[in-house]
Amino acid sequence: MKQSPRARIALTVVGWGVALIMFFPIAWMLLTAFKTEVEAVSSPPSIFFDATLENYAAVQERADYVRYAVNSVVISVGATLVAIAFAVPAGYAMAFFPTKRTRGTLLWMLSTKMLPPVGVLVPIYLLARDLSLLDTRVGLIMVYALMNLPIVVWMLYTFFKELPRDILEAARIDGAMVRDELRYLVLPLSLPGIASTALLSIILCWNEAFWSLNLTTSDAAPLTAFIASFSSPEGLFWAKLSAASTLAIAPILVFGWMSQRQLVRGMTFGAVK
Amino acid sequence: MTATTAAEPRAAERRHGGRRTVNTLPLVAPSVIVLLLWMLVPLGMTIWFSFQRYNLITPHLRGFVGFQNYEFLLTDPALWTAMLNTLILVGSVLAITVGFGTILATLYNAHFPGRSIARLLVIAPFFVMPTVSALIWKNMLMHPVNGLFAWITNSVLGVGRIDWFADLPLFSIIMIVSWQWLPFALLILLTAIQSLDQEQQEAAIIDGANPIQMFWYIILPHLGRAISVVVMIETIFFLTIFAEILVTTSGGPGLASTNLAYLIYIRALLDFDVGGASAGGVIAIILANIVAIFLIRAVAKNLDT
């Protein structure tokens, strides 16, 4: 499309204006993380100040922050690995050996995502309590793996379907068994797809804040719960909260930027292309 | 692509007949079984509990009470307040995210210097965990004394300070959730716009269509499907908005910002009323299912196996 110079300037101004407004709360948080607590609450707000790293040091020194961060990593990665372990065989079978039931099975799997978590809060809470899984990493890993399994199966299924058929056919003629085919051909070839699926699953687990707030209290609480614990106390803690928040969102923000396309694919189940 | 890819494996199937009788059941069954359990067990329990008198403080008084929990819940004004709040919350955030999402998707589809970086900045809020975004807004932007908005309204605009979460609790939560989900709508709609036929657009321009006509007659009709998908997915997520409320207002003042999800949380984990909370859960499930049926249909249309 040809643009007049004036339209181009207007477009640039609006495009960047909107971007800066949307990003502003995050930028403000990043900035506050480098302020002292006094500057953080000053009015008028200080934009120029002597940057300090003491908030990060303070956050790192708190042993409990590290524990929450470790919980987040273990739970997100653990749940993702479990979901992928279940989903690879299922996605492979449905992509390469479709039957009459495949379509129905895929759609049914999606329908399990439509059950609102709040509708099953009570039974899941009670089951977790009775199985001693309340406030444990294993409990949250199970819930997250199940929560993301439909998305993971779906994405792996679409990646497997895009694999070049010729190579697989050749392997079959050479007498490759299902297990060999999966291990030496399908998995290596679809590694980029599996990686981006894993990335999306980790993002969703990391930011999940319904089950983590309801099923954990301290031992297994991830960063979402740690940050939520700052909601009540008033006082001089904004700068430290900002530093803790920055550390909590930075890795996921980078992952998110890397996996935009997969996000669209995974969250709309291919309904938008 | 539907015709060819669907035909190929079937042709191959015939060629290597014996190789195709692979039993896929052991491969698919584990996923199906765990999902079936994950869905049916809690669902069954919710429905079962909803017909029971069951309070965790007085567990010995447990017993079947028929529709009493529903009667109690449906005649409780708190439910209707929560339902209304849920509808306002879901409706407003949908309108904001889909409305602005459509406009912004058109904007970020156009070329301008630094577009890709601007896009990254716009979608960033979606990757911020809900508790962090709620606390950024609560403390640093909307705090009545030290927040940035307070400084703007008081010192710059001179209209005094607004105590956002006390005076406009639902509106404040709508703003936070919209900020988080606008990037989602934008991403999906932008993907849909990018699949728009270039030739059709160029033909329209040659025929003298102005940008507004382009938007109304070419882009918007093309986006219909994507918009409905965004609406459905967001609705299912918005029915369970929880962290943002817990962190900012805790449902208050009074019930002013309590939605259905938060009401169920109060009943279940604060009042220990398993029966009543389960009846609320069943209502949430019914609401979500009305939306889900349409969503599944939209997905099914695009599914070629």
ipTM of the complex: 0.84
> What span, in angstroms and rounded, lies between the C-alpha atoms of A267 and A177?
33
Restricting to B residues 264-303, those with a Cβ less than 8 Å away from any Cβ of A are 264-265, 268-269, 274, 277-278, 281-282, 284-285, 287-289, 291-292, 295-296, 298-303
Residue of B20 and B276 predicted with greater confidence: B276
Q: Contact, A224 vs B243, CB < 8 A?
A: yes
Residue A175 has pLDDT above 80, yes or no: no
pLDDT recorded at residue B16: 45
Residue of B244 and A46 predicted with greater confidence: B244
Q: Is A46 part of the contact surface with chain B (CB cutoff 8 Å)? A: no
Closest CA to A86 of B19, B37, B21: B37
Q: Could you report the per-residue pLDDT of A78-94, keeping only the tens digit for each? A: 999 999 999 999 998 89
Give the chain B residue whose CA is nearest to the CA of A90.
Answer: B28
CB pair distance less than 8 Å for A116 and B31: no
CB pair distance less than 8 Å for B120 and A92: no
> What span, in angstroms and rounded, lies between the C-alpha atoms of A225 and A243?
16
Confidence of residue A169 (pLDDT cuts 50, 70, 90): confident
Distance of CA B53 to CAs B49, B80, B170, B274, Å?
Answer: 8, 22, 32, 8
pTM confidence score: 0.85
Q: Contact, B35 vs A115, CB < 8 A?
A: no
pLDDT recorded at residue A146: 94
Measured between beta carbons, which residues in chain A are less than 8 angstroms from residue B114? 12, 15-16
Residue B21 has pLDDT above 80, yes or no: no
Task: Indicate the average pLDDT of chain B.
Answer: 83
Task: Indicate the average pLDDT of chain A.
Answer: 85
Measured between beta carbons, which residues in chain A are less than 8 angstroms from residue B27? 89-90, 92-93
Q: Position A153: which residue type?
A: V
Measured between beta carbons, which residues in chain A are less than 8 angstroms from residue B38? 112, 146
Distance of CA B193 to CAs A4, A85, B19, B299, Å?
Answer: 22, 35, 42, 18
pLDDT recorded at residue A2: 55
Residue of A212 and A182 predicted with greater confidence: A212
SS (H, E, C) B281-294: HHHHHHHHHHHHHH
pLDDT recorded at residue B101: 94
Q: Could you report the per-residue pLDDT of A102-131, keeping only the tens digit for each? A: 888 888 888 888 888 888 888 999 999 999
Measured between beta carbons, which residues in chain B are less than 8 angstroms from residue A96? 9
Q: Give me the percent of chain B exceeding a pLDDT of 90.
A: 26
> What span, in angstroms and rounded, lies between the C-alpha atoms of A126 and A130?
6
Beta bridge partners of B63: B53
Residue A50 has pLDDT above 90, yes or no: no
Residue B69 has pLDDT above 80, yes or no: yes
Residue A231 has pLDDT above 80, yes or no: no
Question: In whole angstroms, how large is the CA radius of gyration of chain B?
Answer: 25
Nearest to B148 among A1, A28, A271 (CB): A28
Evaluated on CA atoms A35, A36, A42, A44, the torsion sign reads negative
> What span, in angstroms and rounded, lies between the C-alpha atoms of B149 and B159?
11
pLDDT recorded at residue A3: 66
Confidence of residue B3 (pLDDT cuts 50, 70, 90): very low
Q: Could you report the per-residue pLDDT of B174-210, keeping only the tens digit for each? A: 999 999 999 999 999 998 888 887 788 788 888 888 8
pLDDT recorded at residue A121: 86
Q: Contact, A83 vs A120, CB < 8 A?
A: no
Q: Which segment, A184-188, B84-88, B228-232, B264-268, is predicted with the most confidence on average?
A: B84-88
Residue B100 has pLDDT above 90, yes or no: yes
Token couple for A97: 């050996």
pLDDT recorded at residue A233: 59
Q: For B55, phi and psi rounded to 5 degrees? A: -120, 135
CB pair distance less than 8 Å for A210 and B302: no
Residue A59 has pLDDT above 70, yes or no: yes
Residue A213 has pLDDT above 50, yes or no: yes
Residue of B17 and B121 predicted with greater confidence: B121
Q: Mean of the pLDDT values across residues B131-152?
A: 85
Residue A253 has pLDDT above 70, yes or no: yes
CB pair distance less than 8 Å for A249 and B114: no
CB pair distance less than 8 Å for A11 and B128: no
> What span, in angstroms and rounded, lies between the C-alpha atoms of A54 and A35?
9
Identify the DSSP state of A45.
P
Residue B13 has pLDDT above 70, yes or no: no
> What span, in angstroms and rounded, lies between the C-alpha atoms of B285 and B49?
14
pLDDT recorded at residue B35: 92
Closest CA to A64 of A255, A205, A268, A226: A226
Q: Transcribe B96-121 into DSSP letters.
A: HHHHHHHHHHHHHHS--TTHHHHHHH
Q: Give me the percent of chain A exceeding a pLDDT of 70.
A: 96
Q: Which of A36, A113, A120 to mutate to test the interface with B (most CBs of B within 10 A)?
A: A120
CA angle B269, B272, B278 (to 5 degrees): 85
Question: In whole angstroms, how large is the CA radius of gyration of chain A?
Answer: 23
Identify the DSSP state of A271.
S
Token couple for B184: 């989602």
Restricting to B residues 166-225, those with a Cβ less than 8 Å away from any Cβ of A are 179, 182-184, 187-188, 191-192, 195, 201-202, 205, 225
pLDDT recorded at residue A33: 87
SS3 of residue A241 by DSSP: helix
Q: Mean of the pLDDT values across residues A185-199?
A: 87
Residue A43 has pLDDT above 70, yes or no: no
Residue of A6 and B18 predicted with greater confidence: A6
Q: Which segment, A37-41, A67-71, B223-227, is predicted with the most confidence on average?
A: A67-71
- The b/e string for A75-91 (b: 16+ C-beta within 10 A; e otherwise) is bbbbbbebbbebbbbbb
Identify the DSSP state of B53.
E
